[in-house]
Chains A and B, each alone.
Chain A
Amino acid sequence: MDNSNLVLRTKLIDRLFHWSMVSCFMLVALSGLSWFFPSLNWLGYVLGPPQLARVLHPFLGIAVFGLLMCMFVRFVHHNLFVRTDLTWFKHIVDVLLNKHGQKLQIGKYNAGQKILFWGIMSLISLLFVSGLMIWRAYFAALFPIPVLRLALLAHSVAGLALILLVIGHIYMGIWVRGSIGGMISGYVSRAWARQHHDRWYEEEVAPTKPLPSKRHG
């Protein structure tokens, strides 16, 4: 394969973390939705009969949390907010309306992706803690019932928010052509990199001059 036009954006280990997490997340999210919206009860059958789904849901949830923590370590330094993120926010309407042209000084991830990153990481942490608390087979008996009620509410709110964020994430992947392929193969085209992550391209992919110092973001 001629790779001269392609640049490596996501390493194999990170892609494996991402897609194994996605597989577990789908099963956890669908079974969770089956209990939150009982009229969509059939969604839970992705994990077998309802009793079995109830058994598996928390274990798969822990797998999602663990994989996301691995991704946190791998990705956090690209997701710290920097001054140039303000430029992206100022042009968010142009971004959404597909008006290219200006250089928005976007690093490896744009400000929207950083919000997604921190949203996912905080929501999964809340889901992890509240999920352990309401885990009837092991931990729920350790907590007073009023605390369990709050944990159940928090688990539902965080689960809903996370699923909605992920729907947004999936949509962005579909909208921005080349990103899903990029997350599977790891490679994106140079033109794609320049268009969507200009500062990342200029500083890290094809630097034209030596970097003054190591910069994150």
Chain B
Amino acid sequence: MGMQSQDIIRRSATNGLTPLPQARSHEQEVAKLIDVSLCTGCKGCQVACSEWNDLRDEVGHNVGVYDNPANLTPETWTVIRFDEREDEAGKLEWLLRKEGCMHCAEPGCLKACPSPGAILQFANGIVDFQSEQCIGCGYCVAGCPFDIPRISKKDNRAYKCTLCADRVAVGQEPACVKTCPTGAISFGSKAEMIDLADTRVEELKGRGHEGAGLYDPAGVGGTHVMYVLTHADQPSLYHRLPDDPHISPVVRGWKEWLKPVGALGFIATLAGAFAHYMGVGANTTDETPPAEPEKELEDAGQGPNDNGRDA
């Protein structure tokens, strides 16, 4: 069950032979823009996310860094990453990044998912899990280039950021955007967010951040969560944000190559067997007793068999 107000671009494990809902001709792509240079790491977005989505994760332990919880979980859909770095001049930088689903235009999770309709991509760009269709196989975990989906031990279903699809559907911005006290998170049409990012990148460059830029990786067709990074030339500085994310060739081979080859294999095997049977006929045994009694049967004290069929 998707959102009835939204056209659907892609539906997991569903062939494209019949059209998906697409009567609405005027739906805009949305995007969330996260400006890491404005983030103070207050974690207000984490709280707002839990609040809106009715999530109450276990209180974590301090593991020596500020990341808390230490990782995304089925009940923590966004987490601020804190990475320390010394640049060439020996100057310390504290790089913060709000991690969560990137809402790819070409979602690896959706490509990998085997359960029809368990993952939907709406025309506004949101990639949303439909939990009641999820079977808990974890293929989305393998498909995602960003290591985002988490499978709950409570119900064996996958969870991740929904980009507050329910709020966006009624014209509100996501909860994290609403709550961010520094204005580091913005939300609007994707075109507006790219414009905003361009302005912001110019400002950062003017202030000496030569490497500033927009993170909207082309390898996954662009994303509907984008970053303004002060080091856009080295995204991996920000807690291993992939420099060039793309759906793994192994996943592509599995879904795009092996599937048609496998289907051909089935057709060829079944057709070959049927053709062989038609051409050669059944391989029967002549149960008629041999003309001359066979020696071994006499030796064994048995006469020639007398219950041969088809005599």
Contacts and interface: CB of A to CB of B under 8 A. Distances in A.
Contacts, number: 133
A167 B15 contact: no
Given A38-B114, A39-B15, A136 B269 contact: no
Given A152-B254, A156-B254, A36 B282 contact: no
Contacts of A97: 280
B114 A190 contact: no
Contact of A50 (B115, B273, B295): B115
Contacts of A167: 266, 269-270, 273
Interface residues of B, number: 52
Contacts of B273: 167-168, 171
Contacts of B296: 206-208
Contact of B248 (A39, A146, A156, A208): A146
Interface residues of A, number: 50
A68 B12 CA distance: 34
A134 B138 contact: yes
Contacts of A168: 269, 273
A175 B287 contact: no
Contact of A41 (B116, B259, B280, B305): B116
B14 interface: yes
A41 B141 CA distance: 21
B257 to A, nearest CB: 10
Contact of B299 (A150, A175, A208): A208
Contacts of A140: 138, 141
Interface string B245-265: 000101101100011001101
B286 interface: yes
Nearest to A151: B142
Say what secondary structure dominates the interface of chain A: helix
A136 B74 CA distance: 14
Given A41-B13, A136-B136, A192-B285, A153 B258 contact: yes
Nearest to A157: B258
A96 B15 CA distance: 38
B113 to A, nearest CB: 8
A206 B300 contact: yes
Interface in B113-149: 114-116, 133-139, 141-142, 147
Contacts of A70: none
Nearest to B270: A167
B114 A35 contact: yes
B284 interface: yes
Nearest to B251: A149
A148 interface: yes
A191 B287 contact: yes
B285 A152 contact: no
Contacts of B5: none
A160 B259 CA distance: 10
A137 B282 contact: no
A36 B156 CA distance: 20
B139 A152 contact: yes
Nearest to B253: A153
Nearest to A175: B283
A191 B284 contact: no
A177 B280 CA distance: 13
A2 B15 CA distance: 57
Given A160-B258, A164-B265, A38 B13 contact: yes
Interface in A145-194: 145-146, 148-150, 152-153, 156-157, 160, 164, 167-168, 171, 174-178, 189-192
Interface of B: 12-15, 114-116, 133-139, 141-142, 147, 151, 156, 248, 250-251, 253-254, 258-259, 262-263, 265-266, 269-270, 273, 276-277, 280-287, 295-297, 299-300, 302, 305, 307-308
Nearest 9 A-B pairs (CB), nearest first?
A: A38-B13, A136-B138, A35-B114, A5-B305, A171-B273, A149-B250, A54-B135, A206-B296, A192-B285
Given A53-B135, A208-B296, 17 more contacts: A35-B114, A96-B280, A98-B280, A136-B137, A136-B141, A137-B136, A148-B138, A149-B142, A149-B250, A150-B250, A152-B250, A157-B258, A167-B270, A171-B273, A191-B305, A195-B286, A206-B297
Interface of A: 2, 4-5, 34-39, 41, 50-51, 53-55, 96-98, 134, 136-137, 140, 145-146, 148-150, 152-153, 156-157, 160, 164, 167-168, 171, 174-178, 189-192, 195-196, 206-208
